[in-house]
């Protein structure tokens, strides 16, 4: 069955990325605390509220995210209102023009002490369950200044148990159009196993690699990912992870990461259902280089996180 581009490489990401501490953002000398509440009503109204204390020990943030579905799922309104003064709202119409086609408009606004920045994202997503998908989006300031417009596109194709997908973003400027970032996957899935070749260019870093996921039994599944910059193989990254189902109410994820950027790290995520509708997540990330004498430890120090979610 065909999928949108964002659904490719899902099993590998769930094992090697989801729930772990984000070392590009969530770093500091203290504990990262997060509380998430999801309230849902049969009328189609969902409200998600998140409060977070950053591990730097000083910053506290909150996000209020309402979602309202009209006429079943024909029209959807989503909002995101954080305390950081970066607001966005999205209105989506599903299956009104053609089956499988969604059309949306997103408005974003950032309020700064001396200015207000606003932009629009206008796009469409189309999914054919047998053949593939297409995603298109125009990103523009509300002034519609053509020198600051961007175009995002993604497409996937499905054949037997295989999928191929590509996404890219083109930025326009006074110097002309430029492909500023892209990602591509060639993926093969069979029951309990997924293998993918990928290439990524974030605009700052280039990498190519392979990611493999496999179900071992009903309690264990594992994954590994190996990637490197093809222009400089010393810039490499290896991730090996396992997801263990301890019992019906708890699970444990473990990961080892070896890379030029993050050095040598061990990460853990423990999840426990406290009672129906409440879940505790404990996470840690250790810089193992700090325990080895005479070794360089350029990466972030040891990190810890605690999260409580309700009605998720």
Neighbours of 22 (CB within 10 A): 12
DSSP category for residue 147: G
Find the range with the poorest average confidence among 17-21, 55-59, 271-275: 55-59
Query: For residue 230, what are the contacts with CB-CB under 8 A and spacing of at least 6?
Result: 206, 207, 208
Residues 6-16, mean pLDDT to the nearest whole number: 96
pLDDT at 200: 97
Q: Kindly report the three-state secondary structure assignment for every residue of 222-251.
A: EEEEEEEECCEEEEEEEEEEEEEEEECCEE
C-alpha distances in Å from residue 270, one per residue of 239, 241, 307: 18, 14, 10
Where do the structural domains in the chain lie, given as residue ranges? 5-310
DSSP class of 164: E
End-to-end Cα distance, the chain: 27
In this predicted model, which residue has the larger pLDDT, 23 or 107? 107
Instruction: State residue 262's pLDDT score.
Output: 61
The rounded radius of gyration (Å) of the Cα atoms in the chain is: 21
- Please, are residues 204 and 180 in contact by the beta-carbon 8 Å criterion? no
Q: How does residue 296 score in pLDDT terms, banded at 50, 70 and 90?
A: low
Please determine, for residue 60, whether its predicted confidence score (pLDDT) is greater than 70: yes
pLDDT tens digits along 94-115? 998 999 999 999 999 998 888 8
71: how many CB neighbours lie within 10 A of its CB? 10
What pLDDT, on the 0 to 100 scale, is given for residue 259? 86
Q: DSSP class of residue 218?
A: S
pLDDT bracket for residue 82 (50, 70, 90): very high
| Element holding 169 (H helix, E strand) | strand 162-171
- CA 55 to CA 253: how far, in whole Å? 21
Superfamily covering domain 5-310: Porin (2.40.160.10)
Does residue 56 register a pLDDT over 90?
A: no
* pTM for this prediction: 0.87
Please tell me what DSSP assigns to residue 14: H
DSSP 3-state assignment of 111?
strand
Q: What is the pLDDT of residues 193-237, one digit of tens each?
A: 999 999 999 988 999 999 999 999 999 999 999 999 999 888 899
β partners of residue 305: 32, 283
User: Could you tell me if 56 and 304 are in contact, meaning their C-beta atoms sit under 8 angstroms apart?
Assistant: no
Burial status of residue 58 (CB atoms within 10 A of its CB: 0-12, 13-18, 19 or more): exposed
């Amino acid at each position: 069955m065909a999928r949108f581009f964002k659904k490719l490489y899902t099993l590998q990401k769930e094992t090697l990325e989801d729930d772990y501490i984000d070392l590009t953002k969530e770093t500091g000398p203290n504990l990262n605390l997060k509380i998430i509440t999801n309230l849902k009503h049969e009328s189609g109204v969902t409200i998600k509220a998140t409060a977070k204390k950053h591990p730097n020990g000083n910053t506290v943030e909150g996000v209020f995210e309402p979602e309202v579905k009209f006429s079943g799922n024909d029209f959807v309104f989503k909002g995101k209102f954080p305390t950081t003064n970066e607001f966005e709202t999205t209105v989506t119409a599903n299956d009104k023009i053609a089956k499988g086609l969604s059309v949306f408009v997103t408005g974003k606004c950032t309020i700064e002490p001396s200015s207000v920045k606003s932009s629009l994202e206008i796009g469409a997503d189309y999914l054919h369950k047998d053949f593939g998908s297409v995603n298109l989006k125009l990103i523009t300031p509300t002034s519609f200044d053509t020198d600051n417009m961007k175009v995002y596109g993604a497409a996937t194709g499905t054949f037997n148990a295989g999928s191929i997908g590509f996404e890219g973003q083109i930025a326009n400027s006074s110097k002309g159009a430029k492909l500023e970032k892209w990602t591509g996957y060639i993926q093969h899935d069979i029951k309990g196993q997924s293998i993918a070749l990928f290439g990524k260019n974030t605009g700052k870093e280039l990498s190519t690699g392979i990611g493999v996921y496999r179900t071992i039994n009903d309690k264990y599944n594992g994954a590994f990912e190996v990637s490197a910059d093809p222009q400089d193989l010393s810039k490499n990254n290896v991730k090996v992870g396992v997801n263990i189902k301890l019992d019906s109410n708890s699970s444990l994820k473990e990961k080892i990461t070896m890379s030029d950027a993050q050095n040598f790290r061990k990460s853990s995520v423990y999840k426990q259902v406290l009672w129906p509708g409440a879940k505790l997540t404990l996470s840690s990330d250790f810089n193992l280089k700090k325990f080895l004498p005479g070794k360089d430890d350029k990466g972030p120090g040891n990190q810890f996180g605690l999260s409580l979610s309700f009605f998720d």
